[in-house]
Structure 1
Amino acid sequence: MLILLSPAKNMNFDETERALAVTTPALIDETRILSTTTRGLSTSKIKTLMKISSDLARLNRDRFRAFDADQPGTKPAALAFAGEVYRGLDAGTLSDDDLAYAQNHLRILSGMYGALRPLDGIHPYRLEMGRKLHTRRGESLYDFWGDKIAGHLNELLSYESDPVVLNLASNEYFKSVDRKTLKARVITASFKEEKDGQTRMLMVFAKKARGMMARWALENRISDPADLVKFDAGGYAYDEAGSTETDLLFTRPQPAAPGAKAKAEA
């Protein structure tokens, strides 16, 4: 079974106490081609494309200009991305054995790199998959990547008798996987909070839960999709009534906001 995650907009390239050898992204040749386009983007174009401030646009212009696909990335992807998904994954505390297993069973979808292993070295960048960036292949990054990501996943899954993808990525990123090309069953997990008799998806919690489920599946070496219903990290439990064979729902009582909890304990 192969697990898919989205990347994060925020990145952390501070040094970490744990030194890990980085690997080379599998689709680096495609990244090299894409970088010739991003290198030429102006500050104003980046600001409009990404809908960000002038300061952030300048930062990312400088990142694109410095980006060199021929040089090894400076930090493992799973440690470089920062955000709720990666707080849930907490890759820096995974054992060496778990990280080695994750190299074969976890992929992070990326607008710049296509698909990344946890220990693939990356450079600082910001390029959301859903942005309409014009390249020679079309008007969007979906056009640029075409069926290449799905083809890569097929290669990884070709040794399995029953290829399965556990989709823990956002819709924006999973759309980059060409379903017509992908030769695997797809199981998608979602997470909701219960409060006052109602369930709803709160994105800040759902994102962290995606990372937690990825970690749980890696640590427990989950290979049989039937075992996914056992996921219980963070107080979540399988909701059979809200699930189907391909869409699994996990719910839990909605936790109090950190500020509200501190106020109640004061």
Structure 2
Amino acid sequence: MSAPRPLILLAPSEGKSPGGQPGRLKESAAQAWVRERLEELVRTGTPLAQKRAFEVKDDLLERARSEALGLTGRVPLLPALERYTGVAFQALDPLGLPRDRWAQVYILSSLRGLVRGDDPVPSYKLKLTGLPGLKSHWRDRLARPLAALPEGPVWELLPEEHAALLKGWPRPRHTLEILDSRGRAITHFSKRYRGLVARWILEHQAGDPAAVLKGRIPGCTWEGAAANDRGGLALTLRMES
């Protein structure tokens, strides 16, 4: 019997591919709650509140408003790993992976909650801080989809803001700390390295930390591992000078 496949948790990106195949989004009650409040913001919110929610302006703000109001009808859809195009996803390079491995990636979407890499996602703009109560909403409602995740080692490759949504989730998971060449923790440029580590894990189907520590991540060396506060291990990756 083969070992359970590793699972990767990633944050969404601001960058998204346009277009897709028109279709209707299926909605849970938790997803409908977000959509309805997003529509309400567009219809009745102040311009300042809308700018904060979408964090764009001018033509991009108009596009974000239009996308939000179109979510109840037929809307262009793409698989999540085609929709998100940020730095982490560029490093992951999902189009270069076998398509069945997309089902091992889960993304914490501010609009849709926990989405799998091959789940359909519309184009949208919405910051996790963009709607009153949005963070607490997802913290309270992610328990069921998280409990339904398949077996396998979990790699929580998330920034602090999104990792906070998993507070209280009892499942053990491994994390990643990234240091610069002088040994200082970095956050701003860490997205690329989270994507590269995710790529290595999926490419080699190796989720055991001992195996990951033997993997070659371009431009980096592994420093070791220590227990984290999620019941797993925190691996330390150091950038080469």
Separation in structure 1 between the aligned mates of residue 76 and residue 118 of structure 2, nearest angstrom: 10
Question: Any conservation in 2 of the 1:107–1:118 contact (CA below 8 Å)?
Answer: yes
Name the residue aligned to 2:3: none
Name the residue aligned to 2:97: 94
**Post-superposition shift, 1:132?**
5.0
**Post-superposition shift, 1:8?**
0.4
**Post-superposition shift, 1:228?**
2.4
Question: Any conservation in 1 of the 2:19–2:78 contact (CA below 8 Å)?
Answer: no
Name the residue aligned to 1:145: 138
Can you give the 5+ residue segments of structure 2 that lack an aligned partner in the other structure?
1-5, 228-232
Higher relative contact order (CA 8 A, sep 6+): 2
Q: TM-score, normalization: structure 2? A: 0.82
Relative distance call for 1:231 and 1:29 in structure 2 (3 A) is farther
Question: Any conservation in 2 of the 1:73–1:120 contact (CA below 8 Å)?
Answer: no
**Post-superposition shift, 1:227?**
2.0
Question: Any conservation in 1 of the 2:14–2:125 contact (CA below 8 Å)?
Answer: yes
Name the residue aligned to 2:33: 33
**Post-superposition shift, 1:100?**
1.0
**Post-superposition shift, 1:151?**
2.6
Question: Any conservation in 2 of the 1:72–1:122 contact (CA below 8 Å)?
Answer: no
Relative distance call for 1:165 and 1:86 in structure 2 (3 A) is same
Separation in structure 2 between the aligned mates of residue 79 and residue 192 of structure 1, nearest angstrom: 29
Task: Give the partner amino acid of 1:214.
Answer: A
1:80 aligns with 2:83: yes
Written as runs of structure 1 = structure 2, the 5 A alignment for 1:14-25 is none
Name the residue aligned to 1:13: 18
Off by >6 Å, runs of 4+ in structure 1: none
Q: Which one of the candidate residues 65, 71, 74 is aligned to 1:67? A: 71
Question: Any conservation in 2 of the 1:164–1:184 contact (CA below 8 Å)?
Answer: no
Q: Which one of the candidate residues 191, 202, 217 is aligned to 1:233? A: 217
Q: TM-score, normalization: structure 1? A: 0.75
Separation in structure 1 between the aligned mates of residue 137 and residue 220 of structure 2, nearest angstrom: 37
Name the residue aligned to 1:183: 170
Worse overlay, 145-154 or 76-85: 145-154
Identity score, percent: 23
Q: Which one of the candidate residues 194, 212, 217 is aligned to 2:196? A: 212
Separation in structure 1 between the aligned mates of residue 200 and residue 95 of structure 2, nearest angstrom: 14
Question: Any conservation in 2 of the 1:132–1:141 contact (CA below 8 Å)?
Answer: yes
